[in-house]
Copies of this chain bind each other. A is one copy, B any other.
Amino acid sequence: MPYPSQVNAETIVQAAASLIETHGADGVSLSAVGAALGVKAPSLYRYFDNKTALLRAVNQQTAARLTSALVEATEPEPDPAAKVMAMFRAYRAFAHAHPALYSLAYLSGSPELRVGEAVADQFGAAMQGVIAELVGAERALPVLRAVWALAHGFVALELAGLFERQGGAGLDAAYDEAVVLFVGGIRLG
């Protein structure tokens, strides 16, 4: 952390994100973020109006990262069913890789941290195309919601530790199995 401290909005978001990943969302105070950058808390107010604005920016970044991870995962796959399967896997992989960031963006119901466009539109637009290839454009929206619900629900219960009591092992297989069950249902409908 050298002297011309080179602090800007981007590095602050980055530092906050790292802190959230390592110490959880509750461990993020402005002074902690500042300390990670070699700077005191009040300095951050030059770049963000308040803490909420900073966390919103973090969520925006998380949503963008998740979306591009999904796009990257689905793109190389040849057929629609494989794309959907790849999307499911990439979704869970992202949540496992960044559980605290994922939770902050998608699990906290707090309205002030919500970033509508980034979280829902961006994500929805990218994925709806993939779904439409499988089930047709007119059924894409409800199926997208169902797909999202299944993936999010599985991951959220996992992260909350609620699957552990029934034997935590074999969750990878259980996830794939749930997806296969579901994709079977989709094709029927």
Chain A interface (Cβ < 8 Å from any Cβ of B) = 99, 103, 106-109, 111, 114, 116-117, 119-121, 124, 141-146, 148-154, 156-157, 159-167, 174, 177-178, 180-186, 188-189
How far, in angstroms, from A181 to B185 measured CA to CA in the complex?
5
Instruction: Let me know if A145 and B121 touch, CB within 8 A.
Output: no
- CB neighbours (8 Å) of A143 from chain B are 181
- CB neighbours (8 Å) of A103 from chain B are 109
Shortest Cβ distance from A116 into B: residue: B165
Partner of A163, one of B145, B154, B156, B181: B145
- CB neighbours (8 Å) of A184 from chain B are 184-185, 188-189
State the majority secondary structure of interface residues on A.
Answer: helix
Instruction: Let me know if B156 and A156 touch, CB within 8 A.
Output: yes
Partner of A182, one of B120, B124, B144, B182: B182
Instruction: Let me know if A149 and B178 touch, CB within 8 A.
Output: yes
Shortest Cβ distance from A119 into B: residue: B162
A56–chain B nearest beta-carbon distance, Å:
14
How far, in angstroms, from A156 to B102 measured CA to CA in the complex?
13
Shortest Cβ distance from A180 into B: residue: B189
Besides A106-B157, A143-B181, A146-B154, 15 more A-B contacts (Cβ < 8 Å) are A120-B162, A141-B167, A144-B166, A145-B154, A145-B163, A146-B150, A146-B178, A146-B181, A150-B182, A153-B154, A153-B156, A156-B156, A181-B188, A184-B188, A184-B189
